[in-house]
Amino acid sequence: MSLYSKRGVSAQKEEVHAATKNLDKGLYEKAFCKIYADIMCGDEDWVNVMHADGAGTKSILAYLYWKETGDVSVWKGIAQDAIVMNLDDLLCVGIYDKILFSSTIDRNKNLIPAELLEAVITGTQEFFDRMKGFGVNISFMGGETADVGDVVRTMAVNGTMTARWPKAKLITNEKIKAGNVIVGLAGFGQANYETSYNSGLASNGLTSARHDVLHKTYGARFQESYDTSLDESVVYIGPHRITDEIKDGERTTTIGELLLSPTRTFAPIMKELLENHFDAINGLVHCSGGGQTKCLKFVPDNVRIVKDNLFEPPIIFKLIQEASKSGDREMYQVFNMGTRLEIYTNEKDVESIISVSKNFGVDAQVIGRVEESEKKELVIITNDESLLFT
């Protein structure tokens, strides 16, 4: 059993998928988000989409960072995480504008003071104001903020996004086919719409990242930060403290800063691509839960996906792998490994897509291809081995 499973979580969400297997899949089964007919206005040429997601256990890292450093501003990053995990999923069906957002924040009032709650709410509006400057308009509709200390140990930050969108401007992944190439967009570095360097970790796999990287003393000092029913052998087993300095090339940063880099949105890039290169995009996949294996849920059943030119994983993933002693198979199933958005396109359109991304300061490259196959499978080539997933 993997460390991830021993901690009571699943990268593939098998039990969740089993529980929801009989639900309506919407109009397009392979689309990245569930898409419904336009029940709001009854227009057959339009659709409705509603999506819910959040920052996950990254908020626990923010709590530890705040307790250790006193830095309240880290909670603004958690607000961004909760938004982007919704927004960038909507991008993958072609939606980038005129979006409604409602937040859901549950906190333990005895441990989470009002100033942290205010930082999350302020950070939410600041992110929307920044995106508006790139023509991505998201209206903050308020939401639910509840003091539920009997349920939540620290604070959980989640949200829901809703949009009405023209059917003719959807990306449904039905056009993905053998012969396509895959352009990957990097989740790390510093885009020209970001204010600081991004480690690329995003908001998935944070249970592993937290326990595998951080020192045992965090469990002893902050029992509210983990499930105390877990076996102690999997609780905070790493070598590092949040304030430990790490050399990353010419940059010096800390473990805490790497773990808490706000999830990058690709919205400014995708707005330009969806407006000006729509016909070049055959499919889109956000490498979130399930990491580099996420694509298996959304590509056709008769293809093999080969990823043989992924970005070199940035330092945060190397630190996690060294601390956890996980193999490449588990790492690529849990984490995005630095390549967070996949654009399925045609060979002739590659150059223009890469150019748009790089103009925003986000690295992009061909990371793989789509081949014919009798059964759906994924092959990932790393420096050490060839990994097969079905």
pLDDT value at residue 11: 54
CA distance 300 to 44: 26
Q: 232-264 as b/e, with b when 16 or more CB fall inside 10 Å?
A: eebbbbbebbbebebebeeeebbbbbbbbbbbb
Do you know the residue count of the chain? 390
CA distance 139 to 162: 10
- Would you state the structure tokens that stand for residue 64, as one six-digit string? 């530890």
Taking alpha carbons only, the member of 135, 126, 45 closest to residue 80 is 126
CA distance 95 to 101: 13
Domain boundaries, the chain: 3-198+260-389
What phi and psi, each to the nearest 5 degrees, are found at residue 138? -125, 125
CA distance 108 to 150: 8
CA distance 157 to 75: 10
Task: Output the CA–CA distances (angstroms, integers) from residue 195 to 37, 76, 163, 261, 374, in the order listed.
Answer: 39, 13, 28, 11, 46
CA distance 190 to 187: 9
pLDDT value at residue 108: 97
Beta bridge partners of 51: 161
Pick the CATH number of 3-198+260-389 from 3.30.565.10, 3.30.1330.10, 3.30.70.2740, 1.10.230.10: 3.30.1330.10
* Residue 144 · residue 99 · CB < 8 Å: no
pLDDT value at residue 17: 59
pLDDT value at residue 23: 72
Convert the pLDDT of each residue in 298-311 to its tens digit: 999 999 999 999 99
pLDDT value at residue 6: 73
pLDDT value at residue 22: 65
pLDDT value at residue 339: 98
Q: How far is CA 139 from the centre of its chain?
A: 21
Q: How many Cα atoms within 13 Å fall on the side-chain side of residue 39?
A: 7
Burial of 61 (0-12, 13-18, 19+ CB in 10 A): buried
Stretch (H or E) spanning 143? strand 138-147
* Residue 88 · residue 267 · CB < 8 Å: yes
CA distance 362 to 34: 28
Alpha helix stretches (DSSP H) within the chain? 3-6, 14-19, 58-69, 74-91, 114-132, 206-213, 217-221, 255-259, 267-276, 315-324, 328-334, 350-359
- Positions in the chain whose pLDDT score sits under 70: 1-4, 7-8, 10-14, 16-17, 20, 22
Taking alpha carbons only, the member of 309, 303, 263, 262 closest to residue 283 is 303
Convert the pLDDT of each residue in 72-126 to its tens digit: 999 999 999 999 999 999 999 999 999 999 999 999 999 999 999 999 999 999 9
Describe the chain by its helix, strand, coil percentages, rounded to 5: 35, 25, 40
* Residue 126 · residue 8 · CB < 8 Å: no
Question: Which long-range contacts does 148-153 make (Cβ < 8 Å, 24+ apart)?
Answer: 148/106, 148/107, 148/108, 149/107, 149/108, 149/109, 149/110, 149/111, 151/106, 152/106, 152/107, 152/108, 153/108, 153/111, 153/224, 153/225
Under 8 Å CB-to-CB from 155, ≥6 apart: which residues? Answer: 59, 63, 105, 106, 107, 108, 112, 116, 117, 120
